[in-house]
Amino acid sequence: MSRIRIIGLAIVAVFAFSVVASASASAHTFKATAAPTKVTGVQTNNQVFVAKTGKEVICKNAAASGEAKEPSEEITAQTVNYTECTAFGQPTKISTAHYKVSAAGTVEIVEPIVITVEGLGGGCTVTVSGKQTLGTLTFANEGGKILETSNVTGIHSKPSGGFCGSATEEFTEGTYTGSIRETAEKGEISWE
């Protein structure tokens, strides 16, 4: 191999290594000063899920729970219980939601979430598909707490029929908005 070719390959290798190093150096993480610690969160505004235009669910309460297992983590598991929900002016229940939240600003819906609209002649359901990774989440540090704001789009779900939509449909453009303020049981948490 000629000397110029070897030097060229060496330059390419150094460049590739610097790209990988800078990408990992700029990765966002969740920090906990007293890990392991339990983390809880409460909504700061209404949590709104729209399966399809006109198919809106509004929840006045959302309680999140999880755990900061390590002092620095890129992904955390979070469980959210939604209460005081309505759809079409009717009481609505939502199954416990299980998420994996990434400090990079995405969320994975780990398993299906069932939204049950009660009343309306027997009610109906919308099932949000599990195994979806979606964006966009933003995070703000608030004096040892984290404000997590969701503006998630592209959510896939399937109605059962009736007021919820035809059982043969699949919604693919669902949205979810809302904010939750998270607090550590011990120490402080932050997003970096």
Strand order in the sheet with 189-191: 72-73, 30-32, 189-191
Q: Is residue 117 pLDDT above 60, yes or no?
A: yes
pLDDT value at residue 88: 85
Which of helix, strand or coil describes residue 117?
strand
Most confident of 49-58, 115-124, 147-156: 147-156
- For residue 72, the number of C-alpha atoms closer than 13 Å in the C-beta half-sphere is 4
Q: Would you report the helix, strand and coil content of the chain in percent, each value rounded to 5?
A: 15, 55, 30
Query: DSSP readout, 42-87?
Result: EESS-EEEEEETTEEEEEEEEEEEEEE-SSEESEEEEEEEEEEEEE
pTM of the entire structure?
Answer: 0.84
* Boundaries of every domain in the chain: 31-191
CB 155 within 8 A of CB 176: yes
Q: Is residue 15 pLDDT above 50, yes or no?
A: no
If one compares 153 and 119, the residue with the highest pLDDT of the two is 153
pLDDT value at residue 122: 67
